[in-house]
Structure 1
Amino acid sequence: MSISMQKKAFAMVLSLGLVAGCSSTGETVQDDGYGTDVSAVDQAGGSTVYGGADDGGVSSSGLTEAEREEARMAAERAAEAAKRSVTTFYFDFDTSEIKPAAREVLIAHARYLAANPGQQVRLEGHADERGTKEYNLALGERRANAVQRFLIVNGATRGQLETVSYGEEKPEVMGSSESSWAQNRRVELIFK
């Protein structure tokens, strides 16, 4: 009974300390010079970044519509390129269903392939060590074919894609743990 009371008292003291620490003291803050030359948003609605004492800076309000559109397109291209840096896609145990998290990245790859018809890619399907060699070869092939179908539906052509299954023959990680198996259940995109 006394332990429960001690816990309640401790919680009250902790709560009061939190309230006291978050309260305002009413003191004014001295201007140390930082507030005079830094502005997050100017009155015209554009953001301004100042470079130092010369009062020179870059303001987005000074950009033309064409420059803003060009900057937006460059940002989109950079985001697509970042997505395409992911070339390995993992699967759950005993399935060839593409995970929802991989779909956006695969769409970026499909768009890239559609925009570059001469680009070739090999889809290598893999499985973990569980199951027979024949079953794992077939599972690796189903996984590679699932990725191939997804890429084609989203813009790639069949002529750009080649599928191959290695089954359990080329593990990414050696071992017989769930962590190792999860890394071995994959399809890798190899751009040529």
Structure 2
Amino acid sequence: MRFSFIALASVATLLAACSSRPPLTAQAPAASAVAPQKTASASAQGNSVNQAQLDAEKLAAQVRQQRADLNASQVLFDFDDYRVKSDYTDMLQKQAQFMKAQGIDKLVLQGNSDERGGAEYNLALGQKRADAVRKALVLLGAPEDRIETISFGKEKPKATCHEESCWSQNRRVDFVHSDKH
């Protein structure tokens, strides 16, 4: 009987030892040591994503500003002429470089004339001016398939007085960049 009692006590002790848990203080440091690593890693990853998003937004803002600056450009022409003057080479080079760098941009060149002459003549002259600027841009490396030309003739004056100071502002090609197709 004594043997049974010892065997029973041994089994009870063994079962009790297997079912007991380590004290909470032993688990707490291990859990807290792992948690900061996960938090730090998640935080670093979150910061990386946030920084990438901020960088992308900054780049997009820079491109929008470049586009606005280029849209403010124009090429002016002499009376009854559609030759692009060499004075515009640097500006046209910037236009071409932007078009090459921005693979989705389209450019509309809007040809204009002053009020003197008939409507048909001024539409044709405005078209020749826009086509001349397009040819110059293509020669500088701008993608031809993303440049469109249109003529407004005398229908879209920039200045409205009836003298040379206004007419010289109306003989122009305007640039309209767009990232929409």
Q: Secondary structure at the match of 2:126?
A: helix
Identity %: 39
Aligned to 2:138: 152
Q: Secondary structure at the match of 1:145?
A: helix
Aligned to 2:162: 176
- Deviating 4+ runs (over 4 angstroms): none
Aligned to 1:87: 73
CA distance in 1, matches of 2:78, 2:118: 17
Aligned to 1:51: none
The residue correspondences of 1:9-24 to structure 2 (distance < 5 A) are none
Residue-by-residue CA offset, 1:39-98 (whole Å, 9 max, x unaligned): xxxxxxxxxxxxxxxxxxxxxxxxxxxxxxxxxxxxxxxxxx598465211111110111
The number of equivalent residue pairs is 113
Aligned to 1:142: 128
Question: Aligned partner of 1:169: which letter?
Answer: E
RMSD over aligned Cα atoms: 1.9
User: Which one has a larger percent helix, Structure 1 or Structure 2?
Assistant: 2
TM-score using structure 1 length: 0.56
TM-score using structure 2 length: 0.59
Aligned to 2:116: 130
CA distance in 2, matches of 1:106, 1:83: 13
Aligned to 2:85: 99
- Indicate if the aligned counterparts of 1:125 and 1:164 stay in contact, CA closer than 8 A: yes
Structure with more contact order per residue of length (Cα contacts < 8 Å, sep ≥ 6): 2
Aligned to 1:191: 177
Question: Aligned partner of 1:132: which letter?
Answer: G
Q: Secondary structure at the match of 1:129?
A: coil
